Amino acid sequence: MMAFNASSLARQDLKNLKPYEPVVLPGIIRMDANESPFDFPKEINDYIYRNMHPQSFNRYPDPMAQDLRAALANYTGAPVECILVGNGSDEIILNLALTFATGGNVLIPTPTFSMYEVHSLVAGAHAKFIPRNNDFSLNLDQMISEGKIGDTRLIFVCSPNNPTANEATWGELENLLQNTSALVIVDEAYVEFGGQSCLPLMDKYTNLAVMRSFSKSFGLAGLRVGYLIAHPTVIDQMSRVKQPFNINSFSQKAALAVLEHLTLFKKLIADMMYKRDHLWKQMNNMKEIEVLETITNFITFKTALSADEIHQQLIKQGVLIRNISGPGLENYLRVSVGTDDENKTFLESLLNVVG
């Protein structure tokens, strides 16, 4: 029998790519993933179950998520034909890279969301990093310059940016859109918490695509629902790559329920923003740390101490936050806004560690 060696068959260009393996620690306060801290509303949960059809489980889901896309069109003001729904933003990022970027370049202003790089590599594209300015704003001149060199297919801009919590201005985005033939994807996963959406710019620029998520502000992180708004020609090309039944029936119903009860979720978002502002003020009063301004549901801060040390000490005290220390973010950490009790425990634990 011939020997089987999986590593010899695997793509060699991915051999250094590390699998995404988030920390799982039972019985710990999780403030590391920018999820909603609130339990999903019981009345909405009951509403979803009441509206599930018996055949929702034994029949395939609507492959085009027509009802959800119609509801998203009403929510965003974009035409239905300009909307594509994905199994979380991750699937959309991968499909964008698979559709447009294989063999080409993808520009990524760093530091930012790490999955732009990962999915670009998986799709066989080349990730090119453009370091942000010292204040974490876009280095627009370099982005435009690099975009004209080689075969640039996609440009990702997270706004508000994860993990620096600042947004790109309309002027910056328009300058970029006017000076590239690449598709510019603006990731607005956190826009419901603050900042200005660039959706109105789509009337002027066909090379703009806007990506959003139900995970952060709408509390559906466990059901994986994201969507892309782009020119119909972009949606048409991506539909050729998209898995046919990528959004299960339950997730479609849940996302529809959220959009049908927006008033309730807007109250939860407002509550989260209030807690964010209170938490930020408390952290900003600590002399031992430097806190970045934020318009998101997370707070990024820097310490004079080792980020690794603080991260591990907080875990020992039962609190998990995200250690984002690395090039351009030396000794920075990120904490998601939690409930009042979670925020209080985090503040007390952080004081114990840095004080």
Q: What is the pLDDT of residue 96?
A: 98
Which ranges of 148-230 would DSSP assign to H, the alpha helix?
Answer: 170-178
Give the start-to-end residue ranges of the domains of the chain.
Answer: 21-41+263-354, 42-260
Question: What is the C-alpha to C-alpha distance for residues 305 and 288, in angstroms, rounded to an integer?
Answer: 9
Full-prediction pTM beyond 0.85?
A: yes
The two three-digit tokens of residue 49, written as one number = 């179950």
Q: What is the DSSP letter of 288?
A: T
**Neighbouring residues of 47: CB distance < 8 A, sequence distance ≥ 6:** 257, 260, 261
Closest by CA position to 155, among listed 135, 169, 140: 140
* CATH T-level fold of 21-41+263-354: Aspartate Aminotransferase, domain 1 (3.90.1150)
Which ranges of 101-213 would DSSP assign to H, the alpha helix?
Answer: 115-122, 140-147, 170-178
Choose which CATH entry (3.40.50.10490, 3.40.640.10, 1.10.760.10, 3.30.1330.60) describes domain 42-260: 3.40.640.10
Q: What is the pLDDT of residue 88?
A: 95
Q: What is the pLDDT of residue 265?
A: 95
Question: What is the C-alpha to C-alpha distance for residues 222 and 11, in angstroms, rounded to an integer?
Answer: 30
Give the other-Cβ count within 10 Å of 199's Cβ: 17
* Number of alpha helices (DSSP H) and beta strands (DSSP E) in the chain: 12, 13
Question: What is the C-alpha to C-alpha distance for residues 349 and 355, in angstroms, rounded to an integer?
Answer: 10
Low-confidence ranges of the chain (pLDDT < 70): 23
Q: What is the pLDDT of residue 54?
A: 80
Share of the chain above pLDDT 70, in %: 100
Q: Please give the mean pLDDT across all residues of the chain.
A: 94
Q: What is the pLDDT of residue 271?
A: 97
Give the other-Cβ count within 10 Å of 132's Cβ: 20
- Angle (CA) 42-264-92 rounded to 5° is 85
Question: What is the C-alpha to C-alpha distance for residues 33 and 336, in angstroms, rounded to an integer?
Answer: 7
